Amino acid sequence: MGTGTSTGVPMIACHCEVCTSTDTHDKRFRSSILVESKTTTLIVDTTPDFRSQMLRNKVDKLDAVLFTHSHKDHVAGMDDVKAFSFFQHKPMDIYATELTQTALKREFPYVFEKEKYPGVPEINVHTIDKNHSFTIGDISVIPILVYHLNMRVLGFRFGDFTYITDANRIETEEKQKIIGSKILVVNALRKKPHISHFTLQQAIDLGHELNIPEVYFTHVSHQLGRYGDIEQELPEGMHLAYDGLKLVL
């Protein structure tokens, strides 16, 4: 649904070669994925671009929202889940850690009031424990704890597919949850070191360490470079993700 960092790509007021690129692969909404099975549809994170992402991909059914963490580029679009509640005639199931729930209550206090103003999102909140897997419809979910500097962030494994965003450190115990995945999507902000994100090389090294057959890099900034250039530099089995990419397992 989106593969860009918190500013999106192109970045406002930037005239670099990436932000001015005419390649559609270099047009990036904020990072999010849609996961679909035969009966269930869920999304990971509601970005500031959530409404545009839903409309662009013609999504007319959504069963649940999973939140990785509370940063604005991952939660800002939560108000727009009200459209699904309205047309589906039921509250939206929200899955988040207690820490993220606290931030959601601060950012969207009107959603959590006992007496709600008409038209606000209707939600059911479920607490995620990193040590316990759970099921939404027919989709099994394994939470994976990663670190965004010192902030605890969740990645998720769905069957043979693992998604990790906003991380620069993963403990050995949590890496064990990833091993055996056929596809890994992981953040790779840029080539230069960053305080709280994997660099491209660190993300490549992680893919090799865990022996993942297919690796895609997301949460990309305009500082990484143009899609066409970076794609040619990557090792076999590794690719730069892009908005609209569909992976089938």
In the DSSP assignment, the letter for residue 65 is E
Tell me the per-residue pLDDT of 144-203, one tens digit each, with 9 for 90 and over.
999 999 999 999 999 999 999 999 999 999 999 999 999 999 999 999 999 999 999 999
Place of tokens 């569909």: 246
Distance, CA of 137 to CA of 131 (rounded, Å): 20
Contacts of 232 (CB under 8 A, 6+ apart): none
Q: What is the pLDDT of residue 115?
A: 86
SS3 content of the chain, % helix, strand, coil (to 5): 25, 25, 50
Q: Find the angle CA(243)-CA(247)-CA(249) to the nearest 5 degrees.
A: 165
Instruction: For the beta carbon of residue 153, count every other beta carbon within 10 angstroms.
Output: 26
Distance, CA of 229 to CA of 36 (rounded, Å): 31
% of the chain at pLDDT higher than 70: 100
In the DSSP assignment, the letter for residue 25 is G
CA torsion 41→44→48→53, rounded to 10°? Answer: -40
Q: Which tokens go with 3?
A: 């593969």
Report helix, strand or coil for 113. coil
pTM above 0.95, yes or no: yes
Domains contained in the chain, CATH given: 24-240 (3.60.15.10)
